[in-house]
Every structure is written in C-alpha cells, then in structure tokens.
Chains A and B, each alone.
Chain A
Amino acid sequence: MDAVTHFFQSIPVDLLIIQTVNGVVTGMILALVASGLTLILGILDVVNFAHGELFMLGAYVGVLVLTATGSFWMALVLSALIVALLGAAIQIVTLRPLVGRDPLNTILTTFGISLILQNYALWQFGPVARKISEPITSHFNLFYLTYPWYRILIAVLSAAIIGGFWLFLKYGKYGVWIRATTQDRVMAQAMGIPVPMVHTAVFAIGAAMAAASGVLFAPLVGVSHTMGLDWVLKAFIVVVVGGMGNLGGSIAAAIFISLLEAYAAIWVDPSQAVIVSFVVLILTLLFRPTGLFAPTPK
C-alpha cells in the first residue's frame, strides 16, 4: 500500500502537463506531414517515400526565402508554393508513366526520388545544419518553464491548414473532383474530370503540406539534409496506425503517438522513446491491422 501511494506521489504532475503540451504540438505537426502522405496514398495509391525529403526541402527553401526577404510568413507561403510546383513536376515526370503498373514500382521510384533530393540537399547546402529563428519570441510561464508561444502557434496553424484543407475537400468544387477520383477513377474520368490533372494537383498539395510543416518546424530543430528521415518514418507509422488513407484516423494517430512518445521521454532517453511508436505499430498490426482509428471494415 505504501509503495502504491509512493508511486503516485512520485508522478511528476508538472512534467506530465509540460509533456502533454509538447506532445500535442509535435502531434499537430506530425498530423500535417501525415495528412499529406495519407492524401497521396489514398488518392494516388502511391506510398511516397520522398515525403520526408519534401519536408526537408521545404525547410531549406524557407531558409533561403527568409534570408532573402526577412519575413517568416513569406517564407512559409513561398516555400509551400515552390515545393508544390516541384511536387507537380516530380509526379508528371516519374509517377505518371507508372500508372497501371504494379504499385510496388511507385514505392521504388519515390525511394529513388528521396535519394536524389537528400543528396542534392547535402551537395547544395552542406552537412552543417542551418538555424532559423522563431518569428514570435515571447514566452509564457508553464510551471518552472518559460514556454514559447511559437510552439502553441505551430499547433494552431497546423490545425488551421488541415481544417482548411478538409473544408476544401468537403465543399470546394475541386475538392469534390478529388473525392470523386478516389471513389471511382474510371467513372470520374467518364464524367469529364481530368483525372491525371487531379493526380498531379493532389501530389502538389501533399508536397505543399510537407513543405509548410517543414518551415513551421524548422525553428525547433534546425534544418539539415537528414531531418526528413525521422519524420517520414513516424509519418508512415501514423498512416498505418490511423488506417491507410484515412485522414481523420491519421490525425488522431499522430496526436496519440506523439503524446505517448512525449510521456515516454520523461523516463527514458528521447532517442529510445521512438521505440514506443514502433511498439504501438506492432500491436496495431497484431490486433487491428486495418488501423486503430479507422472504422471497422464490414
């Protein structure tokens, strides 16, 4: 009995609350990355291995625009636009010729693209990580920490981007086109929807979301050519745990996994806390292979 009360007293409540806030913030960014991945997977049937590299390139373009113009918000918008164009070009050149072939070909192709982009970044920008400063430097007090407002802003902005995108899918004319293409590619084509164009646009939107999250996250971790690797892995886990191609599930899974990792980081080294998300993935695959947050298939 004594041991139990001791255990409960030893739980660091303040630390838990701090880690909850941290978890939600990283969760929202992860959700933004993963929703781009989910979109591309759900609509194009393409597992985009290069998504982490688009995230990384977005951060680098953000750095360049920021040094040129000095405005963080300009960097955010321009980087999303530029990477969207790049994404469209990549889709047209490498993925369009593979339509109708075994989907495994697209995995290999996007893996090749990630190899190219990553080494291009290394070659162009060098191995030293770039710093990017936060656009908002004010803090507020959270227990013994001064917590930056910027982190809260990231979570809100990510939610706004995802929310805006969701509204577009639901009510926008082109959003309806995208949903129609997902449901029945052939019929959508027959109804006059330019399906190849929709595919290119979807890839571009996914790339733009990756780039935006790259710029938003850059002030927290620094910009380097390998920053995409960890994120794409985590985003894959999120996509599988959330149920492949399911937007709401991906968001829920992103926050769930980030929270678990944040709590685990209280007791173990953060580099080992990654294992928590791996374990979640394994358990999910064992007991609910369709994803934790997807509606059960009939």
Chain B
Amino acid sequence: MPLKTKLGHSAGFWIGFCVVMALLIVAPLVLPEYWRRFLTEILIWGLLAMSSDILIGYTGMVSFGHSAFFGLGMYGAAAALLIISPPNLWLAILFGLGGAAGAALFVAYFSTRLRDIYFAITTLIFSQIFYVIIFTWTEVTGGENGLIFSRPHFTIPFLYDTRFSTATLYWFVLAVVGGSYVLLRRIMQSPFGMVLQSIRENEARTRAIGYPVERYKIVAVMLSGLFAGLAGVLYAVQNQFAAAEFVFFTTSGDTVIFNVMGGIGTLVGPIVGAGFFQLIRELLPRIFGDQFPYLIPLGVIFIVMIIFLPQGLLGFARRWLNR
C-alpha cells in the first residue's frame, strides 16, 4: 500500500512537472520580446535561488556567499568568451563552473567548520573578499566597469552552429534550469540528500550515527556553488557582460529573499520566489513611476512573510490546497 501511494504521488509530480514545462516551453511563442527576456532572467535567478536552497533549506546553513559563486561563474564565462576565439558556449560554461568551483572550495573549506550565524557571516565576508579583489584588480576584471563581450553561438560540435535569438536563448536557459532541477531533485532524494537533511534536523545526532558531517557539508557547499556558477554563466551569456556589483553581498541577500518568499526546503519554491520578487520589482515602478523605491515594499513583504508565513508562498499554497 505505501508503495502504491508513493508511486501515485510521484506520477502526480511528473504530470505537474510536464504541464509546467509545457507551459514554459510555449510561453515565448505568445510573449513579446521584452517579457521573453524577463522570463529568461527569472529562470536564471531561479536557478541561483535553487542552488542556495541546497544549503539554506536542505542543510540548514544560511549562506550569504552565493554572490561569490554567481559572480565567479560570470567572470569565468567572461574569461572564456574574451580569450578564446571564436567564443564557445560550452567552454564558457566549463570556465564558469571552474571559477565557481574554485570559489566554492575556498569558501567551503573555511566556513563549514562554523555553524548558524557564524556560517552566515563567514560566507558573507568571503564573498566580500572576492568582491574587493574583482573590484580593485582593474587590469583583469575591468574593475568598476566590468567586462563586455559578445554572445557565443549555440553549437553542437561538427553538427550545428547557430546564433541565439531571444526565444532560442530562452529555451536553452529553460533546458539548463529544468535539467538542473531534475538533477537536484534526484540528488536531494538520494541517500546523500537525506544525510544533508538529517544534518539540518540534528547535526549532533547525525555525527553520532557516524556520518562525517564536515565532509558532507563541504560537498553540499561545492554542489551549491557549482549550480550558482552555472546561473552566473547563463546570466553572462544572456546580458553579455560581467560586473563586480553582482559579487557584492546584496546579490546574496536577494537570493536569500527569493528563498524565503518562495518557500525554503523545496526546489520549486525558490524559483517561484525569484519570479515573485522580480515581478514586484518590475511592476511597482511601472505603476507608481520610475522613482518609486520598490525595495521598501519588498522589504516589508519579506518581513511580514518571515513572521506570518514562514513556509513561503509555496507552503502557503500547499496548505491552502490541502484545506
């Protein structure tokens, strides 16, 4: 009987997943150019938020360092696109992942010895170290001005080579984000993911059972950093620049806000949160004028949600549907 309910649950999930994916695939056909780009950005921010949820929601470590992984993914991609000609998309991804992995290894090695608040502060400080380096090392990183480069073509070696249009770029991003989602969901349901969740629930007990908690945490940070770096690469490809401001810790703060708004501890939640955040950020200035300080109402909504809706939008929707 439990097996059957599990199967039923899983089938329901896949049906829902396919419906949402189908809607997202069709979306650019009906959306105008501007909103296509907007949706692409939401997907990219969603990937970043999802990656940080591995730490925040699943392992119980609030990371304020995701801007570093995101930014180094961005600058890694920039390096590949500027150095290697003709610019190659796959090399950009490889370089970006390399950059993010380097940063993640560094951050993971030091910060996973610490817990709770200490972890949050250390990750924040680490992202600031990367920020200062990138901001002041003008010859290599362009400093304040950042780096500008052209978008690579979409290539399958020896077979296919085409320029990205906004629609095809959207589909490419959707494929990457969708693939990452399926992969991360699989990982989080694997024994490895279960250990992470048990660290969140009771670290001391997990250690007592015999799991090397520190090693698991390092792998979690690495994994999270890699996917955040992937988001950085996508953002670089989409906008054709890399800028130091994305490494500043406010990007990490936004990522945390995406998580809380959408619902931590779920992989879909952060994407929903990112969409909600970006939509408010887009709509409020349209309604109230360009000068409107949209971050003030966003901050208020954020705090109200922490106090009254700790499960986020997704948790709220789920409870409401169950009623």
Residues of A near any B CB (own CB < 8 A): 47, 94, 97-98, 101, 103-105, 107-109, 111-113, 115-116, 118-120, 122-123, 233, 236-237, 240, 244, 269, 271-272, 274-275, 278, 281-282, 285-286, 289
- Choose among A120, A240, A271, A285 the residue that contacts B110 (Cβ–Cβ < 8 A): A285
Contact B125 A236 (CB under 8 A): yes
Contact A94 B293 (CB under 8 A): no
In the complex, chain A residues whose CB is within 8 Å of the CB of B122: 240, 281, 285
B21 contacts A by Cβ under 8 Å: no
The complex places the Cα of A142 from the Cα of B122 at a distance, in Å, of 38
The main secondary structure of chain A at its interface with chain B is: helix
- Choose among A113, A240, A275 the residue that contacts B299 (Cβ–Cβ < 8 A): A113
In the complex, chain A residues whose CB is within 8 Å of the CB of B306: 98, 105, 108-109, 112
Contact A272 B132 (CB under 8 A): yes
Contact B135 A278 (CB under 8 A): no
In the complex, chain B residues whose CB is within 8 Å of the CB of A103: 116-117
Contact B120 A104 (CB under 8 A): yes
**Contacts between the two chains (Cβ within 8 Å), count:** 100
The complex places the Cα of A108 from the Cα of B57 at a distance, in Å, of 14
What are 28 residue pairs bridging A and B, where the CB atoms are less than 8 Å apart in the complex? A47-B121, A98-B306, A98-B307, A104-B62, A104-B117, A104-B120, A108-B62, A112-B299, A112-B303, A113-B303, A115-B253, A115-B295, A115-B298, A115-B302, A118-B295, A123-B293, A236-B124, A237-B125, A240-B121, A244-B117, A271-B136, A272-B136, A275-B133, A278-B129, A281-B125, A285-B113, A286-B110, A289-B113
Contact A47 B293 (CB under 8 A): no
Contact A278 B296 (CB under 8 A): no
The complex places the Cα of A278 from the Cα of B136 at a distance, in Å, of 15
- Choose among A97, A107, A269, A281 the residue that contacts B117 (Cβ–Cβ < 8 A): A107
The complex places the Cα of A236 from the Cα of B256 at a distance, in Å, of 19
B118 contacts A by Cβ under 8 Å: yes
Contact A271 B135 (CB under 8 A): yes
The complex places the Cα of A269 from the Cα of B143 at a distance, in Å, of 14
List 4 A-B pairs, minimum CB-CB distance, nearest first. A116-B299, A123-B293, A115-B299, A119-B295
State the Cβ distance, A86 to closest chain B Cβ, in Å. 15
B114 contacts A by Cβ under 8 Å: yes
State the Cβ distance, A160 to closest chain B Cβ, in Å. 29
Contact A271 B132 (CB under 8 A): yes
State the Cβ distance, A261 to closest chain B Cβ, in Å. 12
B128 contacts A by Cβ under 8 Å: yes
The complex places the Cα of A97 from the Cα of B124 at a distance, in Å, of 26
- Choose among B117, B118, B124, B307 the residue that contacts A233 (Cβ–Cβ < 8 A): B124
The complex places the Cα of A16 from the Cα of B120 at a distance, in Å, of 35
Of all chain A residues, the one with the shortest Cβ separation from B60 is A104
In the complex, chain A residues whose CB is within 8 Å of the CB of B253: 111, 115
Of all chain B residues, the one with the shortest Cβ separation from A117 is B299
In the complex, chain B residues whose CB is within 8 Å of the CB of A112: 257, 299-300, 302-303, 306
B260 contacts A by Cβ under 8 Å: yes
B310 contacts A by Cβ under 8 Å: yes
Contact B132 A111 (CB under 8 A): no
In the complex, chain A residues whose CB is within 8 Å of the CB of B260: 108
In the complex, chain B residues whose CB is within 8 Å of the CB of A272: 132, 136
Contact B129 A275 (CB under 8 A): yes
- Please provide the chain B residues from 37 to 88 with a CB less than 8 Å away from any CB of chain A in the complex: 62
- Choose among A107, A113, A233, A269 the residue that contacts B128 (Cβ–Cβ < 8 A): A233
The complex places the Cα of A109 from the Cα of B307 at a distance, in Å, of 9
State the Cβ distance, A96 to closest chain B Cβ, in Å. 10
Contact B303 A109 (CB under 8 A): yes
In the complex, chain B residues whose CB is within 8 Å of the CB of A101: 310
- Please provide the chain B residues from 249 to 264 with a CB less than 8 Å away from any CB of chain A in the complex: 249, 253, 256-257, 260
In the complex, chain B residues whose CB is within 8 Å of the CB of A119: 293, 295-296, 299
The complex places the Cα of A244 from the Cα of B295 at a distance, in Å, of 31
State the Cβ distance, A138 to closest chain B Cβ, in Å. 36
Contact A236 B121 (CB under 8 A): yes
The complex places the Cα of A103 from the Cα of B121 at a distance, in Å, of 13
In the complex, chain A residues whose CB is within 8 Å of the CB of B298: 115
Of all chain B residues, the one with the shortest Cβ separation from A239 is B121
The complex places the Cα of A103 from the Cα of B306 at a distance, in Å, of 12
State the Cβ distance, B182 to closest chain A Cβ, in Å. 28
Contact B128 A278 (CB under 8 A): yes
State the Cβ distance, B133 to closest chain A Cβ, in Å. 8
In the complex, chain B residues whose CB is within 8 Å of the CB of A47: 117, 120-121
The complex places the Cα of A103 from the Cα of B310 at a distance, in Å, of 13
